[in-house]
Structure 1
Amino acid sequence: MDLPKDDRALSPHTGYTRAHWEAAADALLAAVAPYATEDHALYHFPGDRQSWSGRLSDGLEGYARTLLLAAFRRDETALERYADGLAAGVRGVWPRIEDRSQPLVEAASIALALRLTRPLLWDRLDDGVRQRAAAWLGDALTAEAWPCNWELFPVTVAGFLQEIGHEAEASRDAIDRGLERIEKWYVGDGWYTDGDGRKFDYYNGWAMHLYPVLHAWLAQDARLLDLYGGRLFRHLDDYARLFGGDGAPMHQGRSLTYRFATTAPLWLGALTGHTPLSPGETRRLASGALKYFLDRGAVDSRGLLTLGWHGPDSRVLQGYSGPASPYWASKGFLGLLLPPDHEVWTAAEEQGPAEREDAVTAIAAPNWLLQSTRSDGVVRLHNHGSEDARYDPYYTRLAYSTVTEPSASYDNSLIVGDDPSRTGIEPLGVGEGWAASRHRASSGARVTSVVLTRGAVEVRAFLVAGAEPGTPVRVTGWAARDGVRAELLPAVGLDDDLTGVTGQEATVFVALARLTAEQDPVPLKETVSVRSDGEGEVRVRWSDGPEVGVRLGDSGGGEWLSVAAGADE
């Protein structure tokens, strides 16, 4: 991809400016153009991958998601092609929007793009085309959505249809219904779960916040913007901490092939004025993520976004991932709606949280503990509250980071017998330097897990109850990755190979872990000492800090936990 020369005066951390974002958008739009059908209604990208929705739906996905990019770029030449495609698509090329169908998803991108570019595209269409397009989109008003972020797709379509006066009452009903349904998934402090359960991931940013806030902003609805904008403001305070010093987003959750769509909520806060971040920090985080992926093979030799994370990688895909799925990365170009003279483009870049300080941040809603170290820019996420068994291993591991990815050999797990499962995760709390949870293995064993952190060091303590005496237990640590050091040492109840066995009663196991990119760190054994009475009490003394007491207990299902810093000997 041909980008402008870096500007290290304005952007000392990334070198990227608005010109880089514009050039990246232009290059992506130019690269997809040859893959449009003759009538421009479908975009079929090369490769043998097909989503479970089929080739026709995948072609619509290619149209809709790249249209969104053209809308953010306000590229009138490209928009003319998409206008032709719209006219052809609604004459019968596109599949109908039906209950829980992929066209419902793509209709939201199309409607949002039309709403954002109304004078440039919609208002220039023939009346007949507009009528057919409104009728095609109108099916989204009553289509049943999957009970998750999908509830916001009818809201997004309805916002546009209401604006143009098409089925105003039905549109208003769809907006009210969708916004009401997501309320039961709002858990506070700026966090949603993506449907029932405890599914916490990037869908918070690129769906649960994006659509309601954009709708409120475009509708100029002060009440809704105050509500949803306030939630976004609070969310961004945590969200900004999920990016590493190298620009990498946290490698956790599903749909990771959307890559720099992770920047959408950062831009959204600046666009609507609901952000705790400075303009320079916003651009640094967003540009850092874009640069991270462009530097690591996200775009192939044809200029197309690949299905993967860095380059092609089937491990991060789901059944719904089709050849055009990566183009939801278009959401990352939301910042181009801000004019060139906006301070988010003119301010000098400022450091992100992972670059400013060593920090341990407790996030109560998902029951996560974020651990970042300034010396290497690595951010680690200790997961004691997020779960979606459909997409294991991207939800069920004990920890994730910005420099590693889950492995097939069950990294960051406690394996009881030959059972590595971690389901029914129950958060037990998160506090200053610690997080805890409980889960059941499929074997029936009950596991209470606690992590304590300081700097880059972790103490991982487990209480295993309900297993047959003599059951082998194994603790695993971080997956190996070039450029980082992954360490794991036994502390209590484990041999040198990080294995132990359960006793007659509930049994304690403790390991020391560290993930660092430092070249010559202090030996792990010298950073912390651990002892246990073998009956549920663990004492942790940091070499440069206080002693912390952890009490774990089990009484046949009545487990308990307490963590206290500076406890008496």
Structure 2
Amino acid sequence: MATPHPFSQNPFKTRTDLQSACISLLQPLANHTSPGGARIKLGHTGTHYDDIAAQLEGFSRPLWGLSALLAGGGELPEGQNWVSGLESGTDPDGEEFWGWSRAKDQRMVEMAAIGYSLAIAPEQLWKPLSEKGKTNLAAWLGAINDKEMPDTNWLWFRVFANLGLAKVGAPHSPERMKADLDHLDTFYLGDGWSPDGPEGVRQLDYYSSSYAIHYAQLVYSKLAQDSDPERYAEYRNRGSRFALDFVHYFDEQGRAIPFGRSMTYRFAMAAFWGALAFADVQLPSPLGWGVVKGLLLRNLRWWSKQAIFNSDGTMPIGFVFPNMYMTENYNSPGSPYWCMKAFIPLSLPESHPFWSTPEEPYPQSLPFTVALDHPSHIITRLGGHTFLLSSGQACHYPLRHTAEKYGKFAYSSAFGFSVPTGNFELEQQAADSMLALSDDGERWRVRRLALNARIEVDDGVPVLRSSWKPWPDVEVETWLHPPRAKAPNWHWRVHRLRTARKIQGADGGFAIYGQGKDGRALPGFLPETGEGRIEGGIGALAASSAGVSAVLDISPSHARTATVVNVDANANIMATRTVLPTLMSHHEPHEDVWLVTAVFAIPAKEDNSAPEGWLKAWEEPPALPRSIKSRVHQGH
């Protein structure tokens, strides 16, 4: 844009600031809205569903923010477009009719925002409709009740369609709603956690927290507290317990660790914190209202500094910059507006403790490293960035880049993760925080399914252990060790590799921004500037304005060579041009070897300055933890 987007200049301190931010995202949509208001077309890229459903998505997703704004007394002149759209989009005889839903139809997803909006802002979004419009809208939403739905978080969308109709006194199906809720409750694992599906599904990502399930539970508990008092109490208790785990996914700057699918929903990653406030949950210590407020507002502040806007003020598909490589086949140009869920606190009055309590920083009383059994994650904020070690999660259907979104060894709030740009050579594979294997030197296989994943305790430290099989005759068993207090910038991977075929290996660290201060590719390391790359021998390192990333080979007997891979542009979701320190190995048939990798990383400070003392920390690596020495020695 010729001038900065208002969202990018917002201080995100007060309720008024949040109202202004919400309005600044809604207003640019007017130029893309159909004459009848029912369709918002923001681009031309396709999805697995039809264009009408995609334009309905463009209409419905902003409602998550608009309805909260209106419910809290805010105003938006362009809001009349959505009232008109509810009339014209549900008129079977009209030119902008959205169409009746079918089995597993994207229209069902978008019904959730409409149902929620009717429930919290009926005066502004239901009452102005004509009687014909109300009848049509009720019939269109109600058509979801006899259709087949995926056995996932989608069931919540039908719950909200019915809940919205119930709140405005329109025909609905309490029987269908109860059956869906009963089934959704079977997903529950305990300790606040629910995966995105029934037993056997191993997805505990942001859909389980902020995007859908836990967010929906909290909103439902508030809206159905009189009609469903048992779930009102249960869902609030789940939210309180889950918050104690979920807080570890955020860092002190406000960033959430990118992990899993639908990263283009951006600050919806933090929407759970606003839903806690909406539901008036009794917060567990140390998560008072000032802390919860800070978690949401700092996240929004961080997003306000990213390149998340087109020149016309709308949001593109991508993460911190426009990016199609990272997408799923259900991401339409309107999909990013799922982020509007983060504005739910706008429905609360200024007197609510979320708004009246001063913002507080990230609670330092929380442990620096935690092991979370349900998601199979070990999360740490040692070493200047918050990152998780992961084994055991996987998408239950063939999601694009599923291995990269769930199967990497580590995910960082500072360095993000990468996805392949093609299927040829390591530059396109972009295998950061992965062990990539190849039997032809051109195409590489990485871990997708981690077998027998579990958290063990070695010498008092949690360790993630799992195995995987890239080919039937190749098996890798991997142990992931988090940092120790005395070596906060190092973590370790141990692989036992057994192969019956000749293969190559590439063990990558964190991908890091790969341009120098002059804007050109990183040169060889320059001590006077503190930037550049080191490769060869047993270690590889890259240092730039983003910090430092490196890997060091400490394998007991199988020597590897070190290199810095020039990753294809835009493979990483947080940096447009990255490089990847990598350890390369060659293995003959019938080898049984131990590979031990020390991963070193320090992100830059918030002002992009180099972290102090990092070169000494790299040049003086810590001793190998005793438990790793013991395991490798016994294995030999």
Q: TM-score, normalised by structure 1?
A: 0.87
Residue in structure 2 matched with residue 211 of structure 1 by the alignment: 216
| The 10-residue stretch of structure 1 (261-270 or 494-503) with the greater mean CA deviation from structure 2 | 494-503
1:201 aligns with 2:264: no
3-state SS of the aligned residue for 1:523?
Answer: helix
| The 10-residue stretch of structure 1 (70-79 or 397-406) with the greater mean CA deviation from structure 2 | 70-79
Q: CA deviation at 1:293?
A: 1.6
Contact 1:363 1:430 in 2 (8 A): no
| The 10-residue stretch of structure 1 (310-319 or 180-189) with the greater mean CA deviation from structure 2 | 180-189
Contact 1:452 1:459 in 2 (8 A): yes
Contact 2:594 2:632 in 1 (8 A): no
Q: Distance between the aligned counterparts of 2:58 and 2:505, measured in 1? A: 47
Q: Name the Cα RMSD after superposition.
A: 2.5
Contact 1:260 1:329 in 2 (8 A): yes
Q: Which amino acid aligns with 2:360?
A: E
Correspondence for 1:404 among 401, 411, 415:
415
Residue in structure 2 matched with residue 117 of structure 1 by the alignment: 121
3-state SS of the aligned residue for 2:154?
Answer: helix
1:70 aligns with 2:66: yes
Residue in structure 1 matched with residue 231 of structure 2 by the alignment: 224
Q: CA deviation at 1:124?
A: 3.1
Correspondence for 1:520 among 613, 622, 635:
613
Q: CA deviation at 1:531?
A: 8.2
Correspondence for 1:290 among 263, 283, 300:
300
| The 10-residue stretch of structure 1 (72-81 or 215-224) with the greater mean CA deviation from structure 2 | 72-81
How do residues 78-117 of structure 1 correspond to structure 2 at under 5 angstroms?
78-92=78-92, 93-117=97-121
Correspondence for 2:390 among 383, 389, 396:
383
Residue in structure 1 matched with residue 478 of structure 2 by the alignment: 449
1:248 aligns with 2:245: no
Distance 1:4 1:314, change over 3 A: closer
Contact 1:387 1:396 in 2 (8 A): yes
Residue in structure 1 matched with residue 550 of structure 2 by the alignment: 487
Residue in structure 2 matched with residue 538 of structure 1 by the alignment: 628
Q: Distance between the aligned counterparts of 2:634 and 2:271, measured in 1? A: 43
Distance 1:501 1:297, change over 3 A: closer
Q: CA deviation at 1:175?
A: 1.6
Per-residue CA deviation, residues 361-404 of structure 1 (Å, 9 max, x unaligned), is 1111011011113x63x111111121125233111111111122
Contact 2:7 2:304 in 1 (8 A): no
Q: Which amino acid aligns with 1:368?
A: H
Q: CA deviation at 1:94?
A: 1.1
Correspondence for 2:509 among 452, 474, 477:
477
Distance 1:362 1:430, change over 3 A: farther
Contact 2:480 2:493 in 1 (8 A): yes
Contact 2:118 2:165 in 1 (8 A): no
| The 10-residue stretch of structure 1 (121-130 or 379-388) with the greater mean CA deviation from structure 2 | 121-130
Residue in structure 1 matched with residue 162 of structure 2 by the alignment: 158
Residue in structure 1 matched with residue 329 of structure 2 by the alignment: 319
Contact 1:421 1:442 in 2 (8 A): no
Distance 1:132 1:219, change over 3 A: same
Q: Which amino acid aligns with 1:489?
A: L
Per-residue CA deviation, residues 52-105 of structure 1 (Å, 9 max, x unaligned), is 212211111111112222101113644433221111111121121111011000
Residue in structure 2 matched with residue 10 of structure 1 by the alignment: none
Distance 1:435 1:300, change over 3 A: same
Contact 1:51 1:319 in 2 (8 A): yes
Number of equivalenced pairs = 528
Correspondence for 2:372 among 363, 366, 369:
363
Q: Distance between the aligned counterparts of 1:314 and 1:3, measured in 2? A: 23
1:132 aligns with 2:132: no
Contact 1:413 1:420 in 2 (8 A): no
Contact 1:381 1:400 in 2 (8 A): yes
Q: CA deviation at 1:337?
A: 1.5
| The 10-residue stretch of structure 1 (65-74 or 403-412) with the greater mean CA deviation from structure 2 | 403-412
Q: Which amino acid aligns with 1:460?
A: R
How do residues 258-277 of structure 1 correspond to structure 2 at under 5 angstroms?
258-274=265-281, 275-276=283-284, 277=287
Per-residue CA deviation, residues 22-69 of structure 1 (Å, 9 max, x unaligned), is 111111111111211111111111x32122212211111111112222
Q: Distance between the aligned counterparts of 1:149 and 1:279, measured in 2? A: 28
Contact 1:141 1:154 in 2 (8 A): yes
3-state SS of the aligned residue for 2:147?
Answer: coil
Q: Distance between the aligned counterparts of 1:284 and 1:217, measured in 2? A: 22
3-state SS of the aligned residue for 2:6?
Answer: coil
Residue in structure 2 matched with residue 413 of structure 1 by the alignment: 434
Per-residue CA deviation, residues 141-187 of structure 1 (Å, 9 max, x unaligned), is 1221112111211111111223344445xx22222222233234322
Q: Which amino acid aligns with 2:491?
A: E
Per-residue CA deviation, residues 246-266 of structure 1 (Å, 9 max, x unaligned), is 222211111111101112111
| The 10-residue stretch of structure 1 (147-156 or 76-85) with the greater mean CA deviation from structure 2 | 76-85
Q: Distance between the aligned counterparts of 1:4 and 1:405, measured in 2? A: 21
Q: Which amino acid aligns with 2:622?
A: V
Q: Distance between the aligned counterparts of 2:188 and 2:601, measured in 1? A: 33
How do residues 494-509 of structure 1 correspond to structure 2 at under 5 angstroms?
494-497=559-562, 498-502=583-587, 504=590, 506-509=592-595
Q: Distance between the aligned counterparts of 1:184 and 1:425, measured in 2? A: 24
3-state SS of the aligned residue for 1:515?
Answer: strand
| The 10-residue stretch of structure 1 (91-100 or 430-439) with the greater mean CA deviation from structure 2 | 430-439
Q: Distance between the aligned counterparts of 1:442 and 1:199, measured in 2? A: 24
Contact 1:246 1:288 in 2 (8 A): yes
Q: Which amino acid aligns with 1:538?
A: I
Q: Distance between the aligned counterparts of 1:319 and 1:553, measured in 2? A: 47
Q: CA deviation at 1:357?
A: 6.9
Q: Which amino acid aligns with 1:461?
A: V
Contact 1:251 1:404 in 2 (8 A): no
Q: TM-score, normalised by structure 2?
A: 0.78
Q: CA deviation at 1:476?
A: 1.6
Q: CA deviation at 1:470?
A: 5.8
3-state SS of the aligned residue for 1:198?
Answer: coil
Q: Distance between the aligned counterparts of 1:267 and 1:15, measured in 2? A: 14
Q: Which amino acid aligns with 1:414?
A: L
